[in-house]
Amino acid sequence: MPNEKIKNLLVRNPDVVLREEDPDGALLFNPDTNQIRVINTTGLFIWKHCDGKKDLPAIISALKKTFDSVPEAEVEGQVKTFVDDMRSNGFLGIPRK
């Protein structure tokens, strides 16, 4: 796989702990920074799809197919904002070769 394509794949920080609280969401704990994030069902869906095999467009496409109630016009921007926040706070990382 070309390096440029690998660079765009989304991967969870393997040190982050996920605790699913109920059907409405979960907690993420990053032991590197002692930060906790409460995420809703949509955030949990995105988090689980950051498996090192999918890039942002693939995750957005999967989200649109799964959640009918998500306003399509807002999906891309909201997913980018979520992913940017997760990356900048160490919850998501860069895939290793």
| 25-69 per-position pLDDT tens digit | 899 999 999 999 999 999 999 999 999 999 999 999 999 888 877
Contacts of 26 (CB under 8 A, 6+ apart): 18, 19, 20, 38, 39, 43, 44, 47
* Section 69-88 average pLDDT: 87
d(CA 61, CA 72): 10
pLDDT above 70 (res 3): no
Q: For strand 17-22 and strand 25-30, is the pairing parallel, antiparallel, or unpaired?
A: antiparallel
Percent of the chain with pLDDT over 70: 89
Q: What is the 3-state secondary structure (H, E, C) of the chain?
A: CCHHHHHCEEEECCCCEEEEEECCEEEEEECCCCEEEEEEHHHHHHHHHCEEEEEHHHHHHHHHHHCCCCCHHHHHHHHHHHHHHHHHCCCEECCCC
